[in-house]
Copies of this chain bind each other. A is one copy, B any other.
């Protein structure tokens, strides 16, 4: 793990630091007095900061490209009331010097706890076939490692490391509650759908330097990839009942709930119908939380509507912020 994060820099004002960041913006510009300087925006998973390199900029510039993780030595100073880095030396970092995880947004939850929670749900299953299927996934070390790290999306809800696991555990929780409320529901089947519905994202996305789609992910999509992964695991479980297999796979195929959203089938069994609603609801609740955070971070008054939220085609309002202002108007 990194020693120094963006969020720590305020502790080093007027000191020199050596640290690793992503150079998310890089621009070689003309100085007023001739010569060149480098203008940079540096990021890690805790935030971002502006930086300037005034000396030897032209020489340093070819040493790294925009988007690279860089190693630098810099002075933490203040310009127009905001902290800024004055760079002395800079170069591209090499693989092994850093952990990419430090440079990508990540869940604020404890991944081990989420993992334990997930395993706890599976331990509670009464249906041995479904339990065996889910264990086959989680006991596969490659899948387990990826599942603990994958984001749930490139740019929408839960678009951070651990986001997929966080979303799945939250969804399993609300599915558990729904199974209690609708007693005719096959609870283990519903939870199986919740755990596996997005499993194809492990192959649809890559999250090494940034979040992106694989070519295979673009051409096949996580729904189909997930179906293929389940087929493969089931090939190792010869006693798995064929009808149950069809139902599990149907839940994965139909969980987007509409053809326009890429589901090749609509939910036709009660568990698939519940899964669709609860998955969509949980994702939207997370979008709402993220938007409230973003709005607060941008300094917007919590009693006002947020900006237009494109993913939901509307602005949003934070109930508690709005009610806290009761009596103000």
Contact = CB atoms under 8 A, between A and B. Distances in A.
A262 B264 contact: yes
B174 A178 contact: yes
Interface in A202-240: 213, 215-216, 218-221, 223-224, 227-228, 231-232
Contacts of A317: 215, 218-219, 268-269
Can you tell how many copies of this chain the complex includes? 6
Contacts of A223: 264
Contact of A218 (B189, B215, B303, B315): B315
Contacts of A8: none
A326 B242 contact: yes
A221 B326 contact: no
Contacts of A216: 246
Dominant SS among interface residues on chain A: helix
A250 to B, nearest CB: 4
A243 interface: yes
Nearest to A33: B32
A73 interface: no
Given A177-B178, A317-B219, A260 B259 contact: yes
Interface stretch (A39-47, A112-120, A157-165, A272-280): A272-280
A304 B213 CA distance: 11
A246 B189 contact: no
Interface in A169-195: 170, 173-174, 177-178, 180-182, 184, 186, 189
Interface of A: 30, 32, 34, 170, 173-174, 177-178, 180-182, 184, 186, 189, 213, 215-216, 218-221, 223-224, 227-228, 231-232, 241-244, 246-247, 249-250, 253, 259-266, 268-271, 273-274, 277-278, 280-281, 284-285, 288-289, 303-305, 312-320, 322-323, 325-327, 329
Given A215-B317, A224-B249, A224-B253, 18 more contacts: A30-B32, A170-B181, A182-B285, A184-B289, A219-B250, A219-B317, A220-B250, A224-B227, A227-B228, A241-B326, A259-B260, A263-B264, A266-B312, A266-B313, A268-B305, A268-B315, A271-B319, A273-B284
